[in-house]
A and B are shown apart, each in its own frame.
Chain A
Amino acid sequence: MSAKTLYDKLWESHLVQTDKDGTALIYIDRHLVHEVTSPQAFEGLRLAERKPWRVDANLATPDHNVPTTERAGGVKAIEDPISRTQVETLDANCIEFGITEFEMLDTRQGIVHVVGPEQGATLPGMTVVCGDSHTSTHGAMGALAFGIGTSEVEHVLATQCLIQKKSKAMQVRVEGKTGPGVTAKDIVLAIIGEIGTAGGTGYAIEFAGSAIEDLSIEGRLTLCNMAIEAGARAGFVAVDDKTIDYVRGRPYAPDSDQWERAVASWRTLHSDEGAEFHRVVTLDAAAIKPQVTWGTSPEMVVGIDDSVPNPADEPDSVKAEGMGRALDYMGLEAGTPMSDIALDKVFIGSCTNSRIEDLRAAAQIANGRQVAANIKLALVVPGSGLVKAQAEEEGLDRIFTDAGFEWREPGCSMCLAMNADRLSPGERCASTSNRNFEGRQGQGGRTHLVSPAMAAAAAVSGHFVDVASLINR
């Protein structure tokens, strides 16, 4: 038998049927549902008088629209009437179709991509989908996970399957030891800087190499989360001891009588020796500095010790024009050292970076320091109610509030500004989220993507700074 990639194994174990032209029907093990991309899908089911194929494969929670401030009033108290309708619609649909939902006031509520792994609802070897592009996150568990549109949400609800074509396989290897202050976020931003935002289009990416093996599961979740920013629908990491230790004891993990059998099966979830990839990219971990984006696409990224690049140095004219437009939008001059860029707001949160290790890393920098006077708002938004509770147990909330950060309720918040948390036109933000697109965090808002530690360092300094200089103090 020929050597297989992890992608081959995940794909083949979910094949229901393949047509002659390669169009395949694949089975979906877990479907995560949130309020923004599901209402039209449920409506479609109702109109066609269809029922969900397998109710227990679904898990829902509202995240995009929920307020991160006071929630005591419940869903009824959500100020924006359209946001409220969307959350109420999710609640009503889950009741009508019998789907488990962690409602807004449930401690288990949170960002779907934080909640899934946290609950053990995302398991190694699964296919996981959600009407959200950052579903690639769950690949960190050794799963095939990808974002889908609303028509496909309806398709999964109705059939437990999706019509797909197999992607090409890419391996991104990061070898060696990372330097001080360099996190999974910096690694993935460096990867995107290397291959570009379309570099992974048409591929499923397996992340491998010693620097990836060294990452914790939470670090791998951050890494796989941004596979989509490199254009790849799915990104994943092979299963190892860390994966299995992470899953053990979680609410949706296999029962004890099936545990050993499950683990034996998960141990096979790696690429075989000699497996071939359509493309292999290798990065040197030691060469990666803490990363900061300067433009309006995640590929517009440099190290903290670098400067804003000059479009005049770019030979590709279409690309140079895009760079010029990005600099205009961002209000930046070519040649400005990244560490000279002053900020207005700081956002620590999102499905990329709102887990407990992220909050610990940020709190370590914030501890005993103060948010700089020029920072109008520094926001910490935990990824779930359980992350929030854990952080409070560790006293991280006090560290943040003592330093002048705001400590909020869980949700997507200012990553995409569908709720009240957003940037005003022209405001500049250090953000641990995943997209620095024009208007993403509020119309006219200027987003710089960084790691949680770098965001905290920027908050206490008022401008970007190499976090390593604060760690080694």
Chain B
Amino acid sequence: MQKFEIFTGIVCPLDRSNVDTDAIIPKQFLKSIKRSGFGPNLFDEWRYLDQGEPGMDNSKRPVNPDFVLNDSRYIGAQILLTRKNFGCGSSREHAPWALEDYGFRVILAPSYADIFFNNCFKNGLLPIVLEEKIIDDLFRLASDDQALGMTVDLHKQALVIGDERILFEVDPFRKHCLINGLDDIGLTLQKIDAIKAYEKQRKSEAPWLFHGK
């Protein structure tokens, strides 16, 4: 996983609550057996006017001018601002893959669905929880004629807009993994002895759990 470094990017405001992972990446694109290439189909049904299918040349498709991702102010945005319960529904990791592939690095919302939230960290994507009132303020700023730029400093857990700083919370373990680009599996495999000891104990207590057929 890539290390998460300090960066400055544009904020794209997606003013909807309960955005589900079916909307983030529709099912027809889940048939891929790869991890990459989902970006052009991020929010496919909202972003384009025609029906998207895998293998289409997305650059030739009619875009929905009313969808915020197609607004010229937000081209190249790396920070997605949205409403509560973002990423609900299906567990598909294709959702963070699509967001990351498109270029998003950070999401700002009042709340997230659990599985999606968890999946983000595995892919170098930082979902930040902010109070509803701050989110409201950011929506006002981000909807201005001039796009809103913001610096995200994970070390200091701060969002910087001009002279203003908004501090945010992040789980220390996840922060550590993001900053160092650590792979969870590698970390867990350092605990082989503990896993084996657990298995041994469990096998004597509940041997029926260790029966393959």
Contact = CB atoms under 8 A, between A and B. Distances in A.
B212 A159 contact: no
A262 B205 CA distance: 9
Interface in A297-345: 297, 318-319, 322, 325
Given A159-B195, A435-B22, A125 B189 contact: no
Contacts of B180: none
Given A56-B212, A158-B185, A437-B22, A149 B118 contact: yes
Interface in B166-211: 171-173, 184-185, 187-189, 191, 194-195, 198-199, 202, 205-211
A151 B184 contact: yes
A149 B115 contact: yes
A132 B184 contact: no
Interface residues of B, number: 61
A265 B185 contact: no
A347 B98 CA distance: 30
Contact of A163 (B17, B112, B184): B184
Which of B28, B55, B209 is most buried by chain A, counting CB atoms within 10 A of its CB? B209
Interface stretch (B5-13, B68-76, B80-88, B149-157): B80-88
Given A149-B91, A149-B115, A418-B27, A17 B208 contact: no
A56 B32 contact: no
Given A27-B195, A435-B22, A149 B119 contact: yes
B64 to A, nearest CB: 13
B108 to A, nearest CB: 16
Contacts of A123: 208-209
Interface in A131-165: 131-133, 135, 146-152, 154-155, 158-161, 163, 165
A467 to B, nearest CB: 27
A255 interface: yes
A150 B54 CA distance: 20
Interface stretch (A35-43, A383-391, A394-402): A35-43
A133 B89 contact: yes
A82 B35 CA distance: 15
A89 interface: yes
B26 A439 contact: yes
B45 interface: yes
A119 to B, nearest CB: 8
Contact of B211 (A254, A261, A438): A254
Which of B16, B35, B205, B212 is most buried by chain A, counting CB atoms within 10 A of its CB? B212
B188 A148 contact: no
A16 interface: yes
B113 A439 contact: no
Contact of B22 (A21, A149, A262, A438): A438
Interface in A373-431: 416-418
Interface in A222-276: 228, 231-233, 251-252, 254-255, 258, 261-262, 265
A82 B32 CA distance: 7
Contacts, number: 193
Contact of A262 (B28, B195, B206, B210): B206
A107 interface: no
A1 interface: no
The 9 closest A-B pairs by CB, nearest first: A56-B212, A254-B208, A151-B122, A149-B93, A39-B33, A149-B119, A147-B91, A133-B91, A82-B31
B26 A443 contact: yes
Interface stretch (A169-177, A196-204, A282-290, A450-458): A196-204
The size bracket of the interface on A is: 35 or more
Contact of B93 (A37, A126, A438): A37
A367 to B, nearest CB: 34
Nearest to A231: B113
B129 to A, nearest CB: 11
Contacts of A167: 114
A148 B118 CA distance: 9
B111 A86 contact: no
Contact of A50 (B17, B51, B185): B185
A231 B118 CA distance: 13
Nearest to B136: A318
A198 B195 contact: no
B116 to A, nearest CB: 8
Given A65-B31, A82-B32, A297-B18, A202 B206 contact: no
20 contacts: A19-B173, A21-B171, A27-B199, A43-B33, A56-B211, A64-B30, A82-B32, A82-B54, A100-B213, A123-B208, A151-B122, A159-B189, A228-B89, A231-B85, A261-B208, A262-B208, A297-B20, A418-B27, A435-B22, A437-B23
A418 to B, nearest CB: 5
A131 B85 contact: no
Given A197-B85, A202-B114, A262-B208, A159 B33 contact: no
B133 interface: no
Nearest to B18: A297
B191 A25 contact: yes
Contacts of B26: 439, 443
A53 B28 CA distance: 32
B114 to A, nearest CB: 5
A296 to B, nearest CB: 9
Contacts of B30: 36, 64, 418
A417 B211 contact: no
A36 B189 CA distance: 26
Contacts of B111: 198, 201
A29 B209 contact: yes
Contacts of A228: 89, 115
Given A23-B173, A125-B206, A152 B113 contact: no
B212 A100 contact: yes
Contacts of B114: 167, 201-202, 231-233
Contacts of B194: 16-17, 25
A96 to B, nearest CB: 14
A233 B119 CA distance: 13
A126 B173 contact: no
